[in-house]
Structure 1
Amino acid sequence: MLVSQILKTKGDSVFTVKPADSVGAVADLLHSRGVGAFVVLDAERVVGIVSERDIVRAVASHGGAALERPVSDFMTANVLFAEPGDTIDSALGRMTDRRIRHLPVCRNERLVGIVSIGDLVKWKISEVEAEADGLKAYIAAS
């Protein structure tokens, strides 16, 4: 199973913010959109990712004043990407190793989607269940 298959079902829309957007505004957007992270774009170029965890750390370190600062001060700038042709297993492995929950998907350095650990786990469970059903049918037919 490939990341591209998840994007075909899930869709390719990605919520983004700009580096100059305030932490407070981004926190409001995270809440209203019901998502856990935004990709930070400068024009069309991915420059970072900001998650709920980043915002909590910013407020814990800098207090309420952090909410007025630009998200670029607290985003994760060293972004790990997936490509549409990556397998779910390889994406899960990278996310687990880095302890991240969101993985932007790029093709030729262009953002084409985003997957979460929840998306990947859901598809992995479906894949394992289908394999188990196939094995049960094979055993029953024997």
Structure 2
Amino acid sequence: MLVSQILRTKGDAVFTIVPTEKVGVVAELLHAKRVGALVVLEAERVVGIVSERDIVRAIAAHGAGVLSRPVSEFMTANVLFAEPGETVDSLLSRMTDRRIRHLPVCKNERLVGIVSIGDLVKWKISEVEAEADGLKAYIAAS
């Protein structure tokens, strides 16, 4: 299963913000959009990603005052990306090794979607279930 197949099914909508957005606004957007991360764009270029985990760490380290500071101070700037032609297995491995939950998907340096570890696990489970069903049908036909 390829990332492009997942994006075709789930859609390519990505919620984004600018680096100057306040952390409090980011927290509100994460809640309102019911997502775990927002991609930070500057002139159509991905410059970071900010997750619920980043917000919690910022508040724990600096107190509630961070809510009025720009997200650029707390976002992950060294973003790992996925490409549409990559496999679910390769991304699951990368995300597990790096302990990350979201990967922006880029093609020719242009943001085309985002996948979460939940998206990948869902696809992996359906792949395994389809394989099991195929084996059951084969055994039943024998």
In 2: Cα distance, 1:137 partner to 1:64 partner: 58
**SS of 2:66's equivalent?**
helix
Structure 1 moving runs of 4+ over 6 Å: none
- Could you state the TM-score of these two structures normalised by the residue count of structure 1? 0.99
Question: Residue deviations 1:15-50, cap 9 Å, x none?
Answer: 001000000010011011111000000011000000
Q: Are 1:108 and 2:108 an aligned pair?
A: yes
Question: Residue deviations 1:106-141, cap 9 Å, x none?
Answer: 000100000000100000000000000001111111
**SS of 1:7's equivalent?**
helix
Counterpart residue number, 2:52 = 52
Q: Are 1:85 and 2:115 an aligned pair?
A: no
Counterpart residue number, 2:2 = 2
**SS of 2:63's equivalent?**
helix
Counterpart residue number, 1:17 = 17
Counterpart residue number, 1:34 = 34
Stretches of structure 1 that go unaligned for 5 or more consecutive residues are none
Stretches of structure 2 that go unaligned for 5 or more consecutive residues are none
**SS of 2:55's equivalent?**
helix
**SS of 1:50's equivalent?**
strand
Question: Residue deviations 1:35-77, cap 9 Å, x none?
Answer: 1000000011000000000000000111011101100000000
Coordinate RMSD, CA, aligned: 0.5
**Aligned-residue identity in percent:** 82
Question: Residue deviations 1:72-121, cap 9 Å, x none?
Answer: 00000010100000000001110000101101000001000000001000
In 2: Cα distance, 1:78 partner to 1:30 partner: 20
In 1: Cα distance, 2:64 partner to 2:136 partner: 57
